Amino acid sequence: MPSDLSQNMLKAATEALELLAEQSRSASSGEKSPFSLTALMGPASEALSDLLKFYANQSEKWNDEQALLSKELSKVGKNFLEKLLGMPTTDVISANDFDRRFKDPLWSESPVFDTIRQGYLVISRWLLRLAEEADGLEPHQYNLARFYAKQITDALSPSNFLLTNPEAIRSTIENNGTNLLSGLKNLKNDLSREGGILNVTQTDTSAFSVGGNIAVTPGKVIYQNDIIQLIQYSPTTEEVHEIPLLIIPPWINKFYILDLTQEKSFVKWCLEKGYTVFMVSWVNPDEKLAQKSFADYMDEGILAALDAVQKQTGAPQVNTIGYCIGGTLLSATLGYMAAHKDKRVKSATFFAAQSDFAEAGDLRVFIDERQISTLEQQMKSHNGILGAASMVQVFNLLRSNDLIWNYVVRNYLLGQDPAPFDLLYWNADATRMPEKLHLYYLRECYVKNALSKGEMVLNDTPIDLSKVKTPVYIQSSRNDHIAPYRSIYRSTHLYGGPVRFIMAGSGHIAGVVNPPAAKKYQHWLNKELPEDADQWLDGAKEHKGSWWPDWEKWLRRKSGKKIPALDPQTGPLPPLEDAPGSYVKLLANI
């Protein structure tokens, strides 16, 4: 009824104002900002200021761009009048068919919403083109300008606002405004969940339980120290290859992305292929571990895990996998081991892992000395720990339409509760970062690119990857926005031993976790390793489906003869607890 709609709209407006006032009081009293992303406003403002300065010195080009924008907006206005009169029209600019923001029919059918949509798309394209063509800027500022231009256009989409989103308006009328009250409730819950930092809920977290319905492959924790637990999974075949497999996942996220569900589990698939699989489970660190270093993570992480695997199996060598930053650490560890004539690693596989950061992609926009210094102060103010929410927000910004604004509309404007999605549950199950480790990684890898240059030093040992003779398999993904394939490809010429490089379809997660049974995506193979990644791709052959079988064929030849399966309950190291262990269940509450 109209009276219900009016009452609910008034109630929603009142609650919204109260929430805004509450957050303003928190900010002025020195409490956490409700939006930790405000720390990014400095670099964003500076980048866009540099963009304006660039065009101030390019007056002819600026005038041409202004004239072009004016002409296109005039066409949008002309379309509006023609549509009102029922005349046939042609879009000045069409939304991408895959752009979910404008899927509602009213965006095209209504003269008003069609004009709003096209006007927005014209202005967005114009601003993004300005940033793209400002190639006279210093490279880092150029990347900042392009990145933040995209963030601005994403944030200002008319789909993100109640009065310019036809679906939200229709929902408000049909539900008498109760959707807005539900949306405010969702917003309050999101603010309270992270202690005042806004992290938009992407999935129903109550639908999942680590060790309950995800990360359920049977096994035992057979070793632990302050930094890791080591899981040995129970064999599923009577015989196994004599060379065991040790997986080093990233510590920025939790390991169970590789054991998400029975259908998607890389661990389960490896067990079925006859491998004895060990998994490092990194601790979710608190302030007691704030001064643990990159070298500590090597010593107490990879090297300690190698010791334990060998003691448990008696194997003289171990095959290894490093995923993302876990792969970066594995690469550095291989260099360290080569310097010390340590040949315990039989082979090394890298999933979406960079060792050369010269083309490290969009994450570089967050990493310069000024931003790192700001981050350092933030961590010191929190006892040497970077809160988990900060890392989640950074990764979400890389795909802000899909991972932020889509859920702002769903959760807050439409008042819907997120549906269960195992991958997004894992994404939200975030970890903290210790100060010394994280700052070292950012400065040595992203800023100095020290690992690829032979300038990294661990435990007084210079790391030279050219001395690594271990056979290496390098996986990349074509649409990876965190570790771009061009960046990963640069690693192929760093090592001194045989290298196989492949590129998978999809991105940083789905490109890696793609079981053959799913029959999804594709991968490219090329035995040659030319200097340039695009040359490699030009000569590569596309194959349908998962790359896992190609990797397993490669690994099989390095895994030795078959022996009776090794039961984690009967080895020299007594089990400490059942998989997935307790470290992975530690939640990040800051």
- Per run of 10 residues, the mean pLDDT along the chain (length 590 residues) is 72 76 59 46 77 88 91 92 86 75 92 94 93 89 90 92 96 94 91 73 92 96 98 98 98 96 96 98 96 98 98 98 98 98 98 96 85 90 87 83 92 94 90 95 96 98 98 97 95 97 96 96 97 96 98 98 96 97 79
By three-state DSSP, how is residue 448 classified? coil
What is the residue range of 41's domain? 32-174
Which residue, of 174, 209, 238, is where some domain finishes? 174
pLDDT score of 38: 53
Secondary structure string (H, E, C) spanning 1-34: CHHHHHHHHHHHHHHHHHHHHHHHHHHHCCCCCC
Residues serving a catalytic function are 324
Counting beta carbons within 10 angstroms of the beta carbon of residue 438, is it exposed (0 to 12), middle (13 to 18) or buried (19 or more)?
A: buried
| Residues facing residue 508 across a β-bridge | none
pLDDT score of 31: 43
Q: What is the identity of the amino acid at 278?
A: F
Question: φ, ψ for residue 20 (rounded to 5)?
Answer: -65, -45
The answer to the question of residue 4 being in a domain is no
Closest residue by Cα to residue 468 from 490, 499, 489, 446 = 499
By three-state DSSP, how is residue 377 classified? helix
192: left (phi over 0), alpha (psi -120 to 50) or beta: alpha
State the CATH number of the domain containing residue 567.
3.40.50.1820
Q: How many CB atoms lie within 10 A of CB 209?
A: 13
Q: Are residues 230 and 314 in the same domain?
A: yes
**CA gap 342, 357 in Å, rounded:** 26
**CA gap 417, 402 in Å, rounded:** 16
Per-residue tokens: 276: 């004895």
Which residue, of 117, 139, 174, is where some domain finishes? 174
Q: Are residues 443 and 534 in the same domain?
A: yes
Q: Are residues 124 and 230 in the same domain?
A: no
| Residues facing residue 240 across a β-bridge | 563
pLDDT score of 26: 59
CA distances from 8 to 11, 268, 415 (A): 5, 51, 13
pLDDT score of 4: 80
pLDDT score of 387: 85
The answer to the question of residue 1 being in a domain is no
The answer to the question of residue 238 being in a domain is yes
CA distances from 512 to 86, 232, 362, 386 (A): 50, 21, 19, 27
Q: Are residues 333 and 468 in the same domain?
A: yes
- DSSP H helices, 197-288, are 266-272
Q: Are residues 169 and 263 in the same domain?
A: no
HSE (side-chain half, CA atoms, 13 Å) at 8: 18
Counting beta carbons within 10 angstroms of the beta carbon of residue 63, is it exposed (0 to 12), middle (13 to 18) or buried (19 or more)?
A: exposed
Check the CA dihedral 493-499-504-508 and report its sign: negative
Q: Are residues 84 and 229 in the same domain?
A: no
Q: Are residues 349 and 492 in the same domain?
A: yes
The answer to the question of residue 427 being in a domain is no
DSSP annotation of 316: S
By three-state DSSP, how is residue 220 classified? strand
The answer to the question of residue 208 being in a domain is no
Domain count, the chain: 2
Q: Are the CB atoms for 255 and 402 separated by under 8 Å?
A: no
The answer to the question of residue 182 being in a domain is no
pLDDT score of 337: 98
Q: Are residues 439 and 327 in the same domain?
A: yes
The answer to the question of residue 306 being in a domain is yes
Q: Are residues 124 and 235 in the same domain?
A: no
Closest residue by Cα to residue 449 from 332, 566, 280 = 332
**CA gap 106, 84 in Å, rounded:** 14
Q: Which helix (H) or strand (E) holds 474?
A: strand 472-477
Q: Are residues 231 and 131 in the same domain?
A: no
Q: Are residues 142 and 225 in the same domain?
A: no
The answer to the question of residue 69 being in a domain is yes
pLDDT score of 39: 55
The C-alpha angle with vertex 470 and arms to 466 and 471, in degrees rounded to 5, equals: 110
By three-state DSSP, how is residue 405 classified? helix
Contacts 24+ apart (CB under 8 A), 339-344: 339/461, 339/462, 339/463, 339/464, 339/467, 340/461, 343/317, 344/306, 344/310, 344/316, 344/317, 344/318
Q: Are residues 571 and 462 in the same domain?
A: yes
Residue showing tokens 């990857």: 465
